[in-house]
Amino acid sequence: MPLKDIKLAIIGLGYVGLPLAVEFGRKRPVVGFDINQRRIDELKSGNDSTLETTDEELAAAKQLSYTINPEDLRACNCFIVTVPTPIDEYKSPDLMPLIKASETVGKVLKKGDIVIYESTVYPGCTEEDCVPVLEKYSGLKFNQDFYCGYSPERINPGDKEHRVTTIKKVTSGSTPEIADLVDALYNEIITVGTHKALSIKVAEAAKVIENTQRDLNIALINELALIFNKMGIDTESVLKAAGSKWNFLPFRPGLVGGHCIGVDPYYLTHKAQAIGYHPEIILAGRRLNDSMGAYVVAQVVKIMTKKRIQVEGAKVLVMGLTFKEDCPDLRNTRVIDIITELKDYNCEVDVYDPWVSVEEAQHEYGITPMVTPPDKGIYDAIIVAVAHSQFAKLGAEGIRALGKPGAVLYDVKYVLPRDAVDGRL
């Protein structure tokens, strides 16, 4: 298939799919498909609630159309699948969105078509899990009648500097010719170029280890923070001192959530265990990072006890709910661990986050956060859990004003100076 003959569809218009569809929509006709009618309606009205694209960028994608009707995909011959790949309550991969998307594409697949996956998966998933679904629903044969590619997403929600066009893209294809075509397609929009991987499995593995490496680096720093806190040493001061060496990696302790770092390692460990290998280091890092919410609450309770503040029935304000600063993304936020743990102590918990969608927070976590500043002088403890710029602007004095005299102020993210808080990681 010549590059000029590609008729493109993007399956899934979330944090990954929409920016991709918008960039391609500047260059060529694109059908953007999503199963969420509300999402389609807001995009048709020129608004993106994820804030990953501006109203001006949406308007500039003049060749991009939106649909919830799978029949509108029949005119396309190249499909890019960008649906979520979460984990379930047992920390196992949940491939249901990926399988459902493959069913949708399979039903409209024709001879010569190409299906490219961007969703993060374990090595082998595209060819072992997705291709059989495409074959079943299309009646076509892989690498004879249709072809596949894999080009892992590399977005960073809330980052206005590193965006889809300015992050180097890994590409791959199920045959050498398809690999060349997939690479050429992405080079239409990726200004910094691409890296063509040896195979689909190599591209899948490359993606899943990117975040596994970062997860382990943060786990190391989290463990160091636990050790230094026991020794009465300020962790940030240690990291600043060590950071004076040119090759010291600038990681910081904290909660590890989000759609990638807190999820992707479980995809790799799942596959490793399926082939008979038990991954020691990766799972140890995951266990440590998953325990940090409980550790934060234990530290806060200890400080409250020392101050003779009754823990049971205490009013506690958690500042921030999103998984990272200055973005509305709530996926796999580990702030929820802090909230759950506080409730186990029978604390009365309020959550304040000016970035979140109240409806999404209610749907995902059963929490109704405040999006405007709470009343002053009513809290026994305040935990700054996310480093939103609004919180930094409030400063220690502004945040302490929300609490009672003598209230505990704990800083998870080093938003405030060390001498302005009662405790921090």
Helix 335-344 crosses helix 292-306 at what angle (to 10 degrees)? 50
Structure tokens at 406: 């003598």
125, 260, 327, 347: the active-site residue: 260
**What span, in angstroms and rounded, lies between the C-alpha atoms of 143 and 174?**
7
Q: Cβ neighbours of residue 425 under 8 Å, at least 6 residues apart?
A: 222, 225, 229, 235, 253, 254, 292, 296, 411, 412, 414
Does residue 260 carry a catalytic annotation?
A: yes
Burial class (CB in 10 A: 0-12, 13-18, 19+), 80: buried
In angstroms and rounded to an integer, the radius of gyration of the C-alpha atoms of the chain is 23
Burial class (CB in 10 A: 0-12, 13-18, 19+), 114: buried
Which is nearest to 68 in space by CA: 36, 42, 100, 98?
Answer: 36
**What span, in angstroms and rounded, lies between the C-alpha atoms of 4 and 27?**
11
Which is nearest to 11 in space by CA: 93, 61, 78?
Answer: 78
Catalytic residues: 260
